[in-house]
Amino acid sequence: MLDLGIVIVNFNTRDLLRKCLQSVFASSGDLTFGVCVVDNASTDGSADMVATEFPQVYLIRSQVNRGYSFANNLGLRAFGFEGGRHSARQGEARYILLLNPDTVVPPDSLATLLTFMETHPQTGVVGPKLLLPDGSLDRACRRSFPTPEVALWRLTGMSKLFPRSRRFGRYNLTFLDPDETTEVDSVVGACMLVRAEAIAQAGLLDEVFFMYGEDLDWAKRIKEAGWRVYYYPEAIVHHVKRAASRHSAKAQVEFYRAFRLFYYKHYADQSPVWLHWPIVIGIGLLEGGQRLRQRLKRGEL
């Protein structure tokens, strides 16, 4: 059995993917791992590059791009997961790492994350400190669930106005020391290490989320199954961020769609009317505004 199964979903980020894979295979430490790259119908030659330069990688060439959750589930199934059950196919792994192709993994980071899991048996998910190209913290690497109150502060901009506030800054936990190991609600799918037993209990990613929100939803289901989630800054991973989606109009709309889906899935039934409608209207206005800007940009109005 492998210590680690790494799933990398790629869409038109060939050169970054190459650097990511080079860094993964340069990892040090006493660990065994396998890598599965799921190429989401790229048109930049990414899949051919992987096949030629990294023959040790298990490559899945998806002919359609049905989103991040769908593609990651293809990778999870390659490591033996199906509907929450764990049965060998390409080879079982004790842990699964979701990793974005726009990341670079320092040599000791994978071993450091695995050691944390081994010494914290109640942990279902752990994520590293993610650093952006300018050296600043990728704030998404540690988050609270967007409960109705947290979502309200995010949507109204209060979280940006008062990032050090323990009330308003909960979305990205901006009031916390970035060098402090902390139990959190969720880490980000760009680099998310998950215990096989937690996946077996919580199931696969929810494919209703095209992109964004699926990692929050997964972490919530894993926590509801009794596991803990940790942010562990002793492990560092470098992240370009949004390399595949920065210029995607669909991605910008999907962010708000994911917000809406998460809210309706987990909180709408519990929210009082006075809080429900401001959240629904706020998300709708932001999503609608984004769609309008795109139509204006395309000259459709």
Q: What is the pLDDT of residues 230-260, one digit of tens each?
A: 999 999 999 998 665 554 567 778 888 898 9
pLDDT score recorded for residue 251: 75
Crossing angle for the helix pair 249-266 and 273-297, to the nearest 10 degrees = 170
Residue type at 31 in one-letter notation: L
pLDDT beneath 70: ranges in the chain:
83-91, 242-249, 298-301
Q: What is the average pLDDT score of the chain?
A: 91
pLDDT score recorded for residue 294: 72
pLDDT score recorded for residue 26: 98
Q: What pTM did the predictor assign?
A: 0.91
pLDDT score recorded for residue 89: 47
- Rg over alpha carbons for the chain, rounded to the nearest Å, is 19
Burial group, residue 261, by CB count within 10 angstroms (0-12, 13-18, 19+): buried
Query: Which residues have C-beta within 8 Å of that of residue 100, sequence separation ≥ 6?
Result: 8, 9, 20, 189, 190, 191, 239, 243
pLDDT score recorded for residue 246: 54
pLDDT score recorded for residue 88: 43
Q: Tell me how far apart the alpha carbons of residues 62 and 39 are, in angstroms, rounded to a whole number.
A: 6
